[in-house]
A and B are shown apart, each in its own frame.
Chain A
């Protein structure tokens, strides 16, 4: 069964169509990346799958079930999202405990305290962070909380919207390691949106290059590592982010 299947997906914001005819199959357990520059429509695809961009046509199915437009409580159990900005994605007046317990309360799950503690441990946060407010945490710690919140409902699919682009390099490494470990431990499927190709190389199995709302190329991560992307635009992107490989001690 596919984790996510998109068939002829068009997404619009108001009168402008920003995503055109996307077809994509992401297998369960796979880590898939959507890459492209700002305005390529990659985030819009993610938001449509999550239910935050309800104005779409075509077909989106999550774990074999077609999803409705808008927010869907059933999809919510299986498919959660991590946002880009760790400063904007946590409620400023709620403690970490309240933020993490909220999804449990919404779905009427019991044993909240223990679950929150277990999840904090899973994302590598000490339990003394439990009753702090977001402003008492660093960017990396906040992003750990955001990941923990997304995992509270034990979803199968995680949508990641540039989860490390607002973080420092050293913190990015910590979060990438965490995401990799969680996927291994919990058998998660990732759909990652990013403009950072090295991150794709570290975290993903396959990628789709997007431009002007269309998929230009779908490739395996081996092709990316070998620099063997075929489309001219993909090569351009590759060249633009090529600097990272040059200076590293190997």
Chain B
């Protein structure tokens, strides 16, 4: 194994692949040195494994009702108890992880590239392009996230897909702002002037030279925002505008459990724990990534 490590850390790599793998290895090593980010990574890994393996992990169906066993406290048969329709809460939490993961991934896939591109274009060209794009961005930024998402869902109709679109629409402006600020710091750098002088088109300069520099801070920001996205999705579910019953969405589950919170605490609490743990996991990982991806840190190693 020592030789693989040496190969990765080689000061004079002999191929493009070795150079980029080496960089990746250094980042991963920096991440592994931070116990909290390792914990965060493990939580995210657990979330992914749970989501993928839900059919095998969940002992019961997520939607199958068993009215004889309504509102049972946690026991060996039902680890997290059952809800008002006798459904096994543990199974619902497990199946719910699929929904959470889908929401998080889709929002990240829609909002981050959109914000990145708009911000980079805005910052690179400046002038009226910047004014126009940032004007739109500011309009979106100035409205409270949940209210804006609510308005969209209300207009498009409740449902998980519309909730994802609504959340994506509310998150991209923040990314556009970051990407623009980063682009402004690089726009007049000499290495950008150098590629311009070689005759590179603006599209090439933005996609090949500016975006790679904005990506690390974007990854960090998106990871840290994941917690917020999960909470917004849960919030929408809670007020009945997100996932519709009988889908086991965590926020919706809390909402249903609210009625019994005093007598059957586990109904609302169990999915609540799931949300907290996953949110924390993303936060820890994001903090770790911030240290690992910081170029000044990278220089030291």
Question: Do A and B come into direct contact in the complex, CB within 8 Å?
Answer: yes
The chain A residues found within 8 Å of chain B, CB to CB, are 50-52, 71-73, 76-77, 80-81, 83-85, 88-95, 97-98, 102-103, 106-107, 128-133, 135-136, 146, 149, 153
Q: Is the CB of A132 within 8 A of B190?
A: no
By a CB distance below 8 angstroms, the chain A residues around B212 are 93-94
- Given the known A-B contacts A71-B196, A131-B18, A132-B19, are A89 and B13 also in contact in the complex, defined by CB atoms under 8 Å? no
Within 8 A of A (CB), among B173-221: 189-191, 193-200, 204, 208-209, 212-213
A-B contact count (CB 8 A): 88
Name, among B11, B196, B198, B299, the residue most crowded by chain A CB atoms within 10 Å (CB to CB).
B198
By a CB distance below 8 angstroms, the chain A residues around B195 are 91, 102-103, 106
By a CB distance below 8 angstroms, the chain B residues around A146 are 194
A51 and B196 alpha carbons, distance in the complex (Å)? 9
Q: Please provide the 9 A-B residue pairs with the shortest distance between their CB atoms, ordered closest to farther.
A: A128-B12, A76-B199, A73-B199, A89-B190, A131-B19, A131-B13, A103-B198, A83-B190, A91-B191
The chain B residues found within 8 Å of chain A, CB to CB, are 11-16, 18-19, 23, 189-191, 193-200, 204, 208-209, 212-213, 295, 298-299
By a CB distance below 8 angstroms, the chain B residues around A71 are 196-197, 199
Q: Which residue in A76, A88, A132, A149 is a CB contact (below 8 Å) of B189?
A: A88
A107 and B196 alpha carbons, distance in the complex (Å)? 12
Q: Which residue in B13, B196, B295 is a CB contact (below 8 Å) of A132?
A: B13
A71 and B201 alpha carbons, distance in the complex (Å)? 10
Distance of A76 from chain B, by nearest CB (Å): 4
Q: Which residue in B12, B194, B196, B213 is a CB contact (below 8 Å) of A93?
A: B213
Q: Which residue in B15, B19, B189 is a CB contact (below 8 Å) of A133?
A: B19
Q: Which residue in B194, B295, B299 is a CB contact (below 8 Å) of A89?
A: B194
- Given the known A-B contacts A129-B12, A132-B13, are A92 and B295 also in contact in the complex, defined by CB atoms under 8 Å? yes
A67 and B76 alpha carbons, distance in the complex (Å)? 82
A84 and B189 alpha carbons, distance in the complex (Å)? 12
By a CB distance below 8 angstroms, the chain A residues around B299 are 135
Q: Which residue in B16, B193, B194, B298 is a CB contact (below 8 Å) of A131?
A: B16
